[in-house]
Amino acid sequence: MTMIRPLRIAIYARYSSDLQNPSSIEDQVALCRQLVDDQFHGRADPRAVLVFSDSAISGSTLQRPGLIRLMNAIKAGRVDVVVAEGLDRLSRNLKDIAGIYETLDYHHVMIWTAHEGRISELHIGLKGTMNALVLRDLKARIKRGHRSRIAAGYAASSCAYGYRVVRGVVDEKGANINGLREIDEAAAPVISRIYDEYIAGRKIPEIIAGLNKDGIPAPNGGLWKRNAIMGGAKKQEGILRNEIYTGKLIFNRSHVVRDPVSNKKKFIHNPESDWTKVDVPHLRIISDAQWAAVRVIDQPKPQQPRQRKTPVGLTVYNQHALTGWVKCGWCGGSKSLANETRYLCSTHRYAKSCANSRGTKEPVLMARTFGTLYHRIETGPDFTPGLTEFFAHQSRRRTELENQEQDIQARIVRLLDAVEHGVDHENARDRILRLQDELGQIRAELTHDLPAPLPVEAAIRARLMNAVQSVELSNDVPTQRLMFQCLLSEIVLTPIPDKHQGETVVIKLREEGWAEFWSSISSE
């Protein structure tokens, strides 16, 4: 007699808003378990049902830890049926839900929901379109809410240089009021100084040199650079182009779209006629006369974007693989690429407090960097001990995270019970939201699979060598930067003593980064 294998069921639950009750997940799971019992009674083992969930994550993205684990389980052949409360729990994006359906259909996995029953292609077309419209309406309502906040004089964006966030103010209901700003008394004179010097005819490099010479920290806490003062003309960024200093809050300068192929966000500048401007006189730092005078001087000329051709014919805009790792051996400051030719000391260029004016060309540093990596792989110490210890630590870390996940879930449940018994609702809600943030971070880290067993040392070296060679030959800057983040500590360039030109090059690697790099190439 042939035994029929029980169906392997996976339940997926999700809620999107931080303000929703976390018990929504439990309610959805209970509803799905009832559906499993009704539709698959006798054909599935209730004890073997897998549960995947995502808390406070929008259905507009596929980058959800619980959904990623579900899709990995499906691709591994561990699921026959996916059950959810509704199709919108899986996704509200029409393209994404169609892609999920195609993937599940390829792996012979059915979708059942409590609201729609068994999902077919007809459901995907009709329901997916409806969910996409709901998502679009939700985005419009959020934007209307932001616009109303701006109209009331509250900021809806990050805090600009020259201002501080005001905290601890509550309304008549005792709820915290967000979006309040006040002038930073220490930074306001710096802004006035920049405007006065620019109006007086000083060039931007001269203004930058003066600020750095006087030891005034830039908005990021480091040295002043051109972008902090001028910024982008289209979006009116930078101190000399930001209208906030005249006492005006501005909203809707840009909007976000997602690339339908890569799913990456892209910011699109809106025409100035679509911007929302509100007067906030208490935030004024400069006068209208100062603003008008700067506008007369600041007449940017149209410029063609700088570009260079890579060996494979691709055009790359202002991207350099080694930016951030190159340091000056005299002052310890960063070196950046000047005129796309040589890495020069930024402290020398902007603050004039370092005498190192020498530079080294980018191709020379790239060749030396890859040569150092090859030499380490070929002649350095064995990789096996470090990789073994790293992955053992990962295993221990995973156990700790799983315990933390259970502990936080229990604490959230206790807080919800306390609210039901009369504990202060606002304080409990704030604590629950913080715990949800911690829970989301833990679950995101748990999505990473444990590594496969390590091969012998010779195979490890061969695979690392091939991976590094592949990155070098790709001429792909983002790929190279990802590898350097793992393996590169810094590149120190120091003028050669008793010579009028040239620098010594010292390349320091991150020995602990080889395990991270191995993990990245093992998951490909």
DSSP secondary structure letters along 458-471: HHHHHHHHHHHHHH
Q: Kindly report the number of other CB atoms within 10 A of residue 158's CB atom.
A: 6
Rg (alpha carbons) of the chain, rounded to whole number: 29
Q: In 3-state terms, what secondary structure has residue 515? A: helix
What's the pTM value of the predicted model, to 2 decimals?
0.45
Distance, CA of 88 to chain centre: 25
Does position 302 have pLDDT exceeding 60, yes or no?
A: no
Residue 114 makes CB contacts below 8 A (sequence gap 6+) with: 31, 32, 34, 35, 83, 84, 85, 86
For residue 380, the model assigns a pLDDT of 93
> What does the angle CA 147 – CA 153 – CA 154 come to, to the nearest 5 degrees?
75
CA dist., res. 137 & res. 58, Å (int): 14
pLDDT in tens, 265-298: 666 777 877 777 889 899 999 999 999 999 999 8
What is the average pLDDT score of the chain? 82
Does position 244 have pLDDT exceeding 60, yes or no?
A: yes
Q: What is the token pair recorded at 100?
A: 């999920």
Backbone angles phi, psi at 115, to 5 degrees: -90, -35
- Amino acid present at 515: A
Going by the DSSP 8-state scheme, the letter that residue 349 receives in this structure is I
Distance, CA of 422 to chain centre: 39
Instruction: Estimate the crossing angle of helix 288-297 against helix 188-199, to 10 degrees.
Output: 50
- Among the listed residues 507, 497, 495, the one whose alpha carbon sits nearest the alpha carbon of residue 330: 495
pLDDT higher for 325 or 88? Answer: 325
CATH topology agreement for domains 9-143 and 163-202+232-297: no
Among 70-74, 116-120, 258-262, 278-282, the least confident range: 258-262
For residue 141, the model assigns a pLDDT of 64
Does position 132 have pLDDT exceeding 70, yes or no?
A: no
pLDDT higher for 62 or 194? Answer: 194
- Amino acid present at 447: T
Q: How many residues does the chain have?
A: 524
Domain ranges of the chain: 9-143, 163-202+232-297, 304-404+437-524
Does position 339 have pLDDT exceeding 50, yes or no?
A: yes
Instruction: Estimate the crossing angle of helix 94-106 against helix 121-151, to 10 degrees.
Output: 150
The residues with which 505 forms a beta bridge, in sequence order, are 493
The helix (run of H) or strand (run of E) holding residue 254 is strand 254-258
Distance, CA of 322 to chain centre: 21
DSSP string computed for 224-260: --HHHHT--TTTT-STTT-GGGGTEEEE-SEEEEE-T
Among 8-22, 136-150, 359-373, 410-424, the least confident range: 136-150
Does position 140 have pLDDT exceeding 80, yes or no?
A: no
Average pLDDT of span 516-520:
87
Domain 9-143: state its class: alpha beta
Measured between alpha carbons, how far is residue 478 from residues 249, 318, 448, 482, 524 in Å? 36, 12, 22, 6, 16
- Among the listed residues 443, 395, 434, the one whose alpha carbon sits nearest the alpha carbon of residue 66: 443
Contact between residue 326 and residue 332 where contact means Cβ atoms under 8 Å apart:
no
pLDDT higher for 320 or 449? Answer: 320
- 241-245 contacts, C-beta under 8 A, 24 or more apart: 241/298, 242/160, 243/277, 243/291, 244/160, 244/162, 244/163, 244/283, 245/162, 245/191, 245/195, 245/284, 245/285, 245/286, 245/291
For residue 308, the model assigns a pLDDT of 43
Average pLDDT of span 367-381:
94
Average pLDDT of span 243-252:
87
- Which CATH number is correct for 163-202+232-297, 3.30.70, 3.90.1750, 1.10.3470, 2.60.40? 3.90.1750
Measured between alpha carbons, how far is residue 476 from residues 311, 335, 342 in Å? 10, 22, 20
| % of residues, the chain, pLDDT over 90 | 38
- Among the listed residues 76, 51, 53, the one whose alpha carbon sits nearest the alpha carbon of residue 65: 53
